Structure 1
Amino acid sequence: MKSQDVRKQFLDFFQSKGHLIVPSAPIVLKDDPTLMFNNSGMAQFKEFFLGNGTPKSARIADTQKCLRVSGKHNDLEEVGIDTYHHTMFEMLGNWSFGDYFKKEAINWAWELLTEVYKIDKDILYVTVFEGSKEENVPFDQEAYDIWKTLISEDRILLGNKKDNFWEMGDQGPCGPCSEIHVDIRSAEEKAKVPGKDLVNADHPQVVEIWNNVFMEFNRKADGSLEKLPAQHVDTGMGFERLCMVLQNVKSNYDTDVFSPLIEKVESLTGAKYTIKAKDEDEEKINIAIRVIVDHVRAVAFAIADGQLPSNTGAGYVIRRILRRAIRYAFTFLNKKEPFIYELVQVLSDQMGAFFPEITAQKTLVMNVIKEEEASFLKKLEQGLHLLENVIAETKGIVISGEKVFELYDTFGFPKDLTELILRERGYNYDEAGFEAAMKKQKDRSREASEVSTDDWTILVDGNVETFVGYDQTENEVKITRFRKVDSKKDGKLYQIVLDNTPFYPEGGGQVGDKGVLVSANETIEIIDTKKESNLILHFVKKLPENVNGTFDAKVNKELRNQSANSHSATHLLHQALRSILGTHVEQKGSLVAPNYLRFDFSHFAKVTDEELKQVEDFVNARIREQLPLIERRSIPFAQAIEEGAMALFGEKYGDNVRAIKFGESMELCGGIHVPNTADIWYFKITSEGGVAAGIRRIEAITNEAVKDFFASQENTLKEIKETLKNPQDAIKAVVSLQDENAKLKKQLEALLKEKAKNLKGELVGELQEINGVQFLAKQVDLDPNGAKDLAYELGNLGTNLFLLLATAEEGKPMLTCYISKELVAEKGLNAGQVVRELGKYIQGGGGGQPFFATAGGKNPGGIKEALEKAVDFVK
């Protein structure tokens, strides 16, 4: 059965059981601060389990793109090593929100597997929760009794808390689960070891394919459990593993989910993937290919959903996954040029019909991956060079663990690649030292981001607040719940939820509102507003004395209005870019703040100054037109798209959406906007640059920030005029000054050259012969360029010169080393190595070619010692 048919039959089956089929949410989460990525099928439904929202249907089914490489669920290091873990995978799931429970979930799972997919019952095992005394949760007798009607009791196994009690996280909904495992080993293997002995034992052919979670508890901050107000079902079946069973193969990678990608890798690299490796070398190649084909899926879909590789947060995770793939290709497939990006076309052909984002964003994804590959391959080359230096500086055969960690942490050079190279060269490294350095870094990172959250104190039961901020900036409110949050970064804060709120929570690029809660006795400052699991959270440094009181909630209108200016200008900017650069332009990220806006967009060339001026003029023309805001708050998504509204890839939209229109600009948006474009006053671009392959960034300001900018520019011009003695024509005065400066520079260069010629004669007489080498190490009163010219002049006099010149112009020390090419060849001397070693004395470093190199530093006091040590190289 083809994988597309496997997916379709699952969804058709649950649709026949009254389930609403919904699309996969984006793999990158933008509205859940507790998760970087969708790591399970239920992540997009958290608010329903928590009781903070109402689903469109009490029964839902879908296939969800998931990514597990960080946090509680982290499979990254197993990926490729075994044949059944993945970074990105599809989770087929069905949900019941307070509707059916164990009986239906178990019976339908069995019906689908054995009657629709026709999997042999004799290769299936199931597990149920054995209970936990410490949790005061009994053995799941109900699930056991249901399974007894479907499968023999010797195939019903008891599972402990680790395997059969599923939790969303450290806090939140949880409950016992019942897993279905499959044993696809040969008859001979089954005769040796019973399948039940291998369940949950990490055997590659005895694997879990479906988990039915029965959500009936809530895990509180103190670790205790309380019953949820309603019972829910949350199931997840691994799509890739299911395809393995239905396609009668022994590995996920042998299914048609991965085989087209593997074939493409083989054609691009010349390597051969073998289903069963004969030796260690073949297995290394297999692992490398598995890593590449798995990782490209995760990276490609993350980029398509709006997450670019970067050095922080979710972007760093994506970069780390891609670099792991590049490194395996570099080491085991001998690929020194980018090629992984070419697999994106195969992904698009395979999965584009069901996940259209991978086809729509294909060009961007390929460009970003290609640039990341090229960049990291350069880093690997740098790492190899640096590793050579570390080896050269090491006495003995044990390399410092801290040095290996520095290569890993600073230059991205993988530890296992370092280990491989060292082993080939007869070295090893201090692993304990590496681990200690790694632990220090992790501890620092954890301490910086550590957050602990208390349970909610509920004041009004079952209330979910109403957002009234589109129409009001002030409202009478009551607190419905609150909790304390301790963060290493921000200290102790409180999050409060109101029965209704005018405060806009951070979202869609726009920062959250600030303001105050005012009562008769006190004023509480709201320092930020965010959204989590459908709750609008207001951050305060202290709670009101009377949390049950009534308050006036007042948004800071000045900041709100400035944010609205930035947000509406962002829409006009998007329209301008598509009009001037082309309709290929799509928004790839934004920040809307009171004082400025930042807009990332897809475009494959630098935006020229002329184009930027056109963009600026376009937006300001729309401002002068005084276009009124046309807002439609609840329009069917399909209708909005049909009418021309822009929707962004990677965003999650509901059935009904809010559309914002200014003239011809129409976008789906939940943010705050001006009532008329005239309120923006003026739009000014402050910068444009690249942030990734095919992604450009514009930063701009509006209204008050523009007024401040113009005032600052006017003040700067005034100061320039005063400095130039108030000439009538400031520009003419500056040009005259530049001409005069150029003449003086030419005169100075001529004088320095003359000085260098005079020095040349003096220095020839100071050369010493040591071991057949003409040697000189001396500080000279020249600039670095003069020292370079002098070194080459002296170098032309013979074939056995070793010269080290030191300069200290304006207190900045510089070492210049020249070694005759004949000495480089005959004696193995290397100017680059010389300046790296002697550069330590001036607290700096540098490099260059074997015959000429320079090193800059910051300690001129070290020049004397550096010059004294130079002779050691020729003695």
Structure 2
Amino acid sequence: MRSQEIRAKFLEFFKEKNHKIVPSAPMVIKDDPTLMFTNAGMNQFKEFFLGNSVPKSTRVADTQKCLRVSGKHNDLEEVGKDTYHHTMFEMLGNWSFGDYFKAEAIAWAWEFLTDVCKIDKDSLYVTVFEGSKDADQLEQDSEALDLWSKIVAKDRILFGNKKDNFWEMGDQGPCGPCSEIHVDIRSAEEKAKVSGASLVNQDHPQVVEIWNLVFMQYNRKANGQLESLPAKHVDTGMGFERLCMVMQGVQSNYDTDVFTPIIREIETITNSKYGKDEEINIAIRVIADHIRAVSFSIADGQLPSNTGAGYVIRRILRRAIRYGFTFLNTKEPFMFRLVKVLSDTMGKSFPELKDQRQLIENVVKEEEHSFLKTLDQGLLLLDNIVGENKDKKIDGRKAFELYDTFGFPIDLTALILSERGYELDEKGFDIAMQEQKDRSRSASEVSKDDWVILSNDEVEEFVGYDVLDTTVKIVKYRKVTSKKEGEQYQLVFNLTPFYPEGGGQVGDKGYLEAPNGDVVYVLDTKKENNEIIHFAKNLPKDTGEKFKAVVDAKQRKRTECNHTATHLLHQALREILGTHVEQKGSAVHSKYLRFDFSHFAKLSADELRAIESFVNARISNGLPLEEQRNVPMEKALEQGAMALFGEKYGDAVRTIRFGQSIELCGGTHVQNTADIWHFKIKSEGAVAAGIRRIEAITSDAVKDFYSESNNTLLELKELLNNPQEPVKALTALQEENVRLKKEVENLLKDKAKNLKGELLNELTDVNGIQYLAKKVDLDAAGIKDISFELGQNKKDLFLLFASEKDGKAILSCYISKELANDRKLNAGTIVRELGKYIQGGGGGQPFFATAGGKNPAGIPEALEKAKSYLM
């Protein structure tokens, strides 16, 4: 049975059990600060488990794309080494929100696996929570045990501990016991020798967990105590790739049709063969897995970058590139060529892969080019580290610096050192890595108290589209402490005018005013699990009062101007550049706006002017806001509203129209484009391959910009003696500057020719080496030029030149390559050691290196010391 049919059968089975089939949520999470990526099928339903929202259907099923590469669920380092862990994977799941519970979940799971999938009952084992004797004092899950006992042989039921059979959302929140279903796909001969029961949860590649049935019946409080939930829920998750392995009768996830087309393409591109050599097998599995994770992430709007979720995606991609580089001898970009195969095999179920294929290919290819350059640079730096080393053991902290600063993989460092007969101080590297993790963890550590509930019957409502101040009650609050922000309070109201950060728009600020006039400032507003959270430094003295909630109107107005401008900018880009342009991200602040979009080339000055003119024409036209709330999604799309990839939309949406610009948007906007006053582009540039970024300003910021520009112009005119035509005057000055520079260059060349002859005459013989250490009146570039010119005539040359400029010292060492090899001399090591005399440091290659310092008075001593390296 092919994978597409398996997926369809699962969804059809639960559809017949009255479940609503919902689409996969984006893999990249944008409205939950506790997670970067969807790492389990239940993530998109957290608001229902927490009781923050009421689901439209109490029975739901789907296949959810997940990514587990950070935090508690981190499988990255296992991927490729075994045949059943993945970074990106599909999780088939069915949920009950206060509807059915253990009896139905257990019966249906068994029915689907044995009746629909026809999996041999004698190859299946189930686990039941055995209870715990720790502080929780939890009893054995006797209800699940009784239910399983009616349908499964007794020797097929195993007991699991808290680690394996008690599932928790996090340190706080809903949790409960679970029953896992494991499958033994070993041969009959192997089963006869060793019982499958002894291999369950032992990381055996052919005895694997296939389905986890979680019974959410408790809530974990901040103090660690458990309390019963008012409603009980079911959360199940089945590994799609593992199910395919079982159904297709193979021994590895990578032998299923989910992966085999990608693996065949890797074999073709790299001229390698899967299945013969374990190192090559691991490399191919890593690449086949990682291209899926990276492609789905880019399709969902997350580009590789140096921070946050983007850093994780870049790390995954680089891990794959490095495996190809090391074990498959791929020295040119190749992974981007796998995107087409992935799109062909999974595009039917996940159309975003087809729609975004060109973008994914461009981004992956550019990242490959960049990292291959990094690998080349890292190899040179590693050469320097090896060259400076006097024994055969390399300092782990230096290896960590290579990894941390330049992104050079540690296992590649270890491999290269091993090939050269060197040993890596792995303990030193591990210590340096742990110190960095501790610093990072300490900086981001957050402790949250339990919510203090003041009212249970209030449903939070956002009224900020219509009013900027209103009377509110605090429904609940909690204290949050972090190293970065210190002690803060999070407040939830019964209704709020504060817009929560989302859709690129910054959250509102403002204040709460008590009846007695006391004020508590709202520092930020965010959304978490469908609740609007207000951040305050202090807690109001009497939380039971009614408060006047007031949004900072000035900041909101500026933000609205920028947000509406992004809609007009999006329209302008599609009109002027073409309909291939799609929004790939935005940031809307009160001071500026940032807009990322797909496009293949740098924008010309004419195009930028045309875009500005297009937006400003619509501002001048005074287009009114046409807003529709709670429009059915299908109707909104029929009206021409643009939906963005990677965004999660409900059945009912909000549309924003200004003239011909219509988009799905939950943000706040001006009532008329005339309120924006003016739009000005500040910069345009590349973010990634095929992605451009425009930064712009509107309203008051434009007025400030033109005021500052006018002042700058007046200052320049004054410096130019107030000419009537300042541009002509400045052009004439530039032309004169070019002419004078050429004259200076010619004079310096003549000076260098004369100096070269003088320096050749000053060379002395020291132990068979032509030696000179001297202070010269040249800059660093001049010293390098003359050193290499002298080196053309001499093969046994050792030079140390020093110079002084603007109170700074420079030391440059040149050693003939032949001399550096024969006498084991290293210019980089020498200037680093001599740099201490000028209170500085530097480095370079074995035959030429430069150091800079802040103590020119140390130059004579450094020059004097140079001869000692030849003695």
- The code of the aligned residue for 2:184 comes to D
| Structure 1 residue aligned with 2:218 | 217
Within 1, Cα distance between the matches of 2:112 and 2:399?
A: 52
* Residue 77 of structure 1, CA deviation: 1.2
Per-residue deviation, residues 797-817 of structure 1 (Å, max 9, x unmatched): 555443332222323433445
SS in 1 for 2:23: coil
- Structure 1 residues 758, 554: CA separation in 2 closer, same or farther (over 3 Å shift)? same
| Structure 2 residue aligned with 1:78 | 78
Q: Does 1:718 align with 2:714?
A: yes
Normalization by structure 1: what TM-score? 0.96
Q: Does 1:547 align with 2:547?
A: no
| Structure 2 residue aligned with 1:52 | 52
| Structure 1 residue aligned with 2:588 | 592
* Residue 651 of structure 1, CA deviation: 0.3
322-331 vs 473-482, greater mean Cα deviation: 322-331
Counterpart among 845, 859, 870 of residue 842 in structure 2: 845
Per-residue deviation, residues 325-364 of structure 1 (Å, max 9, x unmatched): 1111111111111111111111100100010111111111
Within 2, Cα distance between the matches of 1:524 and 1:693?
A: 46
| Structure 2 residue aligned with 1:165 | 166
* Residue 857 of structure 1, CA deviation: 5.0
Report 1:411-810 matches (<5 A).
Answer: 411-521=406-516, 522-788=518-784, 790-791=786-787, 794-795=790-791, 800-810=796-806
- Structure 1 residues 820, 400: CA separation in 2 closer, same or farther (over 3 Å shift)? closer
- Structure 1 residues 858, 292: CA separation in 2 closer, same or farther (over 3 Å shift)? farther
| Structure 2 residue aligned with 1:272 | 273
Within 2, Cα distance between the matches of 1:766 and 1:255?
A: 74
Within 2, Cα distance between the matches of 1:242 and 1:782?
A: 71
- The code of the aligned residue for 2:617 comes to A
Q: Is the 8 A contact 2:515 2:546 kept in 1?
A: no
Per-residue deviation, residues 617-644 of structure 1 (Å, max 9, x unmatched): 1111111111111111111111211221
| Structure 2 residue aligned with 1:175 | 176
Per-residue deviation, residues 554-586 of structure 1 (Å, max 9, x unmatched): 101000000000000001111111111111111
The size of the alignment, in residue pairs, is 868
SS in 2 for 1:42: helix
Gap runs ≥5 in structure 1 = none
Per-residue deviation, residues 692-745 of structure 1 (Å, max 9, x unmatched): 111111100000000000111111112222223333332233233333433433
SS in 2 for 1:765: helix
Normalization by structure 2: what TM-score? 0.97
| Structure 2 residue aligned with 1:207 | 208
Within 2, Cα distance between the matches of 1:790 and 1:424?
A: 38
Q: Is the 8 A contact 1:171 1:220 kept in 2?
A: yes
- Structure 1 residues 700, 434: CA separation in 2 closer, same or farther (over 3 Å shift)? same
Q: Does 1:360 align with 2:394?
A: no
Within 2, Cα distance between the matches of 1:597 and 1:198?
A: 56
* Residue 669 of structure 1, CA deviation: 0.4
| Structure 2 residue aligned with 1:192 | 193
* Residue 149 of structure 1, CA deviation: 1.3
* Residue 828 of structure 1, CA deviation: 7.1
- The code of the aligned residue for 1:386 comes to L
Q: Is the 8 A contact 2:828 2:842 kept in 1?
A: no
526-535 vs 382-391, greater mean Cα deviation: 382-391
SS in 2 for 1:808: strand
Within 2, Cα distance between the matches of 1:577 and 1:840?
A: 55
- Structure 1 residues 769, 454: CA separation in 2 closer, same or farther (over 3 Å shift)? same
Within 2, Cα distance between the matches of 1:93 and 1:533?
A: 20
Q: Is the 8 A contact 1:846 1:856 kept in 2?
A: no
Q: Does 1:288 align with 2:283?
A: yes
Q: Does 1:321 align with 2:316?
A: yes
- Structure 1 residues 379, 797: CA separation in 2 closer, same or farther (over 3 Å shift)? closer
Q: Does 1:124 align with 2:124?
A: yes
SS in 2 for 1:38: coil
Per-residue deviation, residues 738-794 of structure 1 (Å, max 9, x unmatched): 334334333433443443344344333322122333221211123344434544554
- Structure 1 residues 801, 419: CA separation in 2 closer, same or farther (over 3 Å shift)? closer
* Residue 519 of structure 1, CA deviation: 1.5
Q: Is the 8 A contact 1:836 1:847 kept in 2?
A: no
Within 1, Cα distance between the matches of 2:210 and 2:499?
A: 42
SS in 1 for 2:762: coil
- The code of the aligned residue for 2:66 comes to C
Within 1, Cα distance between the matches of 2:730 and 2:811?
A: 36
* Residue 379 of structure 1, CA deviation: 1.2
Q: Is the 8 A contact 2:842 2:849 kept in 1?
A: no
Per-residue deviation, residues 90-140 of structure 1 (Å, max 9, x unmatched): 000000111111111111111111111111101001111111233132211
* Residue 382 of structure 1, CA deviation: 1.5
Within 2, Cα distance between the matches of 1:823 and 1:434?
A: 34
* Residue 865 of structure 1, CA deviation: 4.2
SS in 1 for 2:214: strand
| Structure 1 residue aligned with 2:305 | 310
Within 2, Cα distance between the matches of 1:612 and 1:95?
A: 50
- The code of the aligned residue for 1:123 comes to S
- Structure 1 residues 665, 840: CA separation in 2 closer, same or farther (over 3 Å shift)? farther
SS in 2 for 1:736: helix
Report 1:222-233 matches (<5 A).
Answer: 222-233=223-234
- The code of the aligned residue for 1:514 comes to K
Within 1, Cα distance between the matches of 2:584 and 2:375?
A: 29
Within 2, Cα distance between the matches of 1:840 and 1:665?
A: 64
- The code of the aligned residue for 1:251 comes to S
Counterpart among 392, 397, 406 of residue 387 in structure 2: 392
* Residue 526 of structure 1, CA deviation: 0.4
- Structure 1 residues 45, 775: CA separation in 2 closer, same or farther (over 3 Å shift)? same
| Structure 1 residue aligned with 2:342 | 347
- The code of the aligned residue for 1:226 comes to E
Per-residue deviation, residues 134-181 of structure 1 (Å, max 9, x unmatched): 313221111111111111111111111111111111111101111111
- Structure 1 residues 799, 192: CA separation in 2 closer, same or farther (over 3 Å shift)? closer
Q: Is the 8 A contact 2:274 2:284 kept in 1?
A: yes
Q: Is the 8 A contact 1:483 1:495 kept in 2?
A: yes
Within 1, Cα distance between the matches of 2:258 and 2:742?
A: 68
* Residue 295 of structure 1, CA deviation: 0.9
Gap runs ≥5 in structure 2 = none
- The code of the aligned residue for 2:563 comes to H
Q: Is the 8 A contact 1:753 1:786 kept in 2?
A: no
Q: Is the 8 A contact 2:274 2:281 kept in 1?
A: yes
Q: Is the 8 A contact 1:575 1:665 kept in 2?
A: yes
- The code of the aligned residue for 2:597 comes to F
Q: Is the 8 A contact 1:839 1:846 kept in 2?
A: no
- The code of the aligned residue for 1:320 comes to R
Within 2, Cα distance between the matches of 1:43 and 1:269?
A: 38
| Structure 2 residue aligned with 1:68 | 68
Within 2, Cα distance between the matches of 1:258 and 1:794?
A: 59
Q: Is the 8 A contact 1:844 1:856 kept in 2?
A: yes
* Residue 221 of structure 1, CA deviation: 0.6
Within 2, Cα distance between the matches of 1:379 and 1:561?
A: 45
Q: Is the 8 A contact 1:464 1:535 kept in 2?
A: no
Within 1, Cα distance between the matches of 2:132 and 2:805?
A: 75
Q: Is the 8 A contact 1:51 1:462 kept in 2?
A: no
- Structure 1 residues 82, 790: CA separation in 2 closer, same or farther (over 3 Å shift)? closer
216-225 vs 737-746, greater mean Cα deviation: 737-746
Q: Is the 8 A contact 1:219 1:225 kept in 2?
A: yes
SS in 2 for 1:813: strand
